[in-house]
Amino acid sequence: MIHNIHFAQYIPYTAMHFVTGTWTDTAGDVAGTIAKHKAANTETAVVTVPIMIPSNSIALQGSKLASIELDYECEVAAATSVTAVLHKIVRGVDGAVAVASHPTITQDLVAAVAAAAHEEHKIVVTLTTPVWIDNDEYYLCEFSFVCGAAVTVDVFGAVANFTARM
């Protein structure tokens, strides 16, 4: 059996979901990179990262999700806060809705302080209890950007860290 605790998966922003705000595809500030840019406006924008890693129908096999990292930048000014929530979505059977729950996580940058500063950011969201992913479920990591009138935001990409076992 393979059991490797150091696996990671890059998730480009083009796989992410952006709600609220005017978002556009742009070149990143560093030549050769790509970014999703939010225009300045007073609003709360929500960026959801689909965690695209393998799952498995057998317990304790496949991927055990440990943490998620998001690379972004608050430009022009500081945001009010940047807060992460992790959603576990159990897919519904035919005719039934999905069921969401919210595993306990911690974020290494404080929402209204370090995570919101006018700076480049690498925020790490860590599951208190890492989870093996069943094939009937998936995970969405949601970041709420509470923005004042001046701040703009660039989202570059994410990385999911996990154990692979097969």
Partner 1 sequence: MIHNIHASQYIPPTLFHVVSATAAITHAAGAVSGTIALALGAANETSVVTIPIMIPSNARALQGAKLVSVELDFVNATAEFTSHTFVLNKVTRGANLSVAVVAPITKTDSVAATASHAVDEVKQVVTLTVPEWVDNDCYYLLEDTIVQGGGGGTCKFLGAVANFTLRL
| 17 touching partner 1, by CB under 8 A | no
What one-character-per-residue DSSP string does 27-84 give? Answer: E-SSTT-EEEEEPP-SEEEEEEEE-----BSSTT-EEEEEEEEEEEEEESS--SEEEE
CA distances from 40 to 16, 60, 78, 92 (A): 20, 45, 11, 38
| 40 touching partner 1, by CB under 8 A | no
- Quote the tokens at residue 37: 């840019």
Size of the site for partner 1 (CB under 8 A): 36
| 22 touching partner 1, by CB under 8 A | no
Task: Please give the Cα distance from 61 to 55 (Å, whole number).
Answer: 8
| 77 touching partner 1, by CB under 8 A | no
CB of 93 to partner 1, least distance (A): 27
Q: Which is nearer to partner 1, 7 or 90 (CB)?
A: 7
Per CB under 8 A, which region of 42-50, 74-82, 94-102, 156-164 contacts partner 1?
156-164
Q: Which is nearer to partner 1, 30 or 97 (CB)?
A: 30
Q: Which is nearer to partner 1, 14 or 95 (CB)?
A: 14
